[in-house]
Amino acid sequence: MDPSPREVISQELLSWKGVTIHEHNFVTTIFFLDGIEMGHLHGDSIADLQFPVKVGKKLIREGYVSPHHIIPKSGWVSHEIQNAKDVKLVIELFRFQYSRLVESK
């Protein structure tokens, strides 16, 4: 049996220096970089990340993400995970977030 999207994403992110995870209630997996939340997964179906407003709006305009699925004006964005292409895109979004956070140190 193939690994789930959450398993694939978690395995990749945990290979990056300083990344840890925390399993939370409601089937949420939260990814941290040196104690700062990078974003989280709701099971195998949705990834949520928080970017600066300008960056989030650009990602929405370019079709990479949607406004957050529950609180659209919060600064958080969401990406639904429906297939392997979405898994790769979510990993790319987390890579972008990781790079931003590393550069801000």
Domain that holds residue 60: 5-99
Indicate the number of domains in the chain. 1
On whether residue 67 sits in a domain, the answer given is: yes
> In this structure, how many other beta carbons lie within 10 angstroms of the beta carbon of residue 34?
12
Structure tokens at 85: 């292409």
| 19 is a domain residue | yes
Q: Residue 65 pLDDT more than 90?
A: yes
Distance CA 17, CA 5 (A): 21
In a domain, 105, yes or no: no
Local confidence band at 25 (pLDDT 50, 70, 90 cut-offs): confident
In angstroms, rounded to a whole number, what is the distance separating the alpha carbons of residues 63 and 48? 15
Bridge partners of residue 42, in order along the sequence: 28, 46
- Provide the whole-model pTM: 0.93
Name the least confident of 17-31, 44-58, 89-103. Answer: 17-31
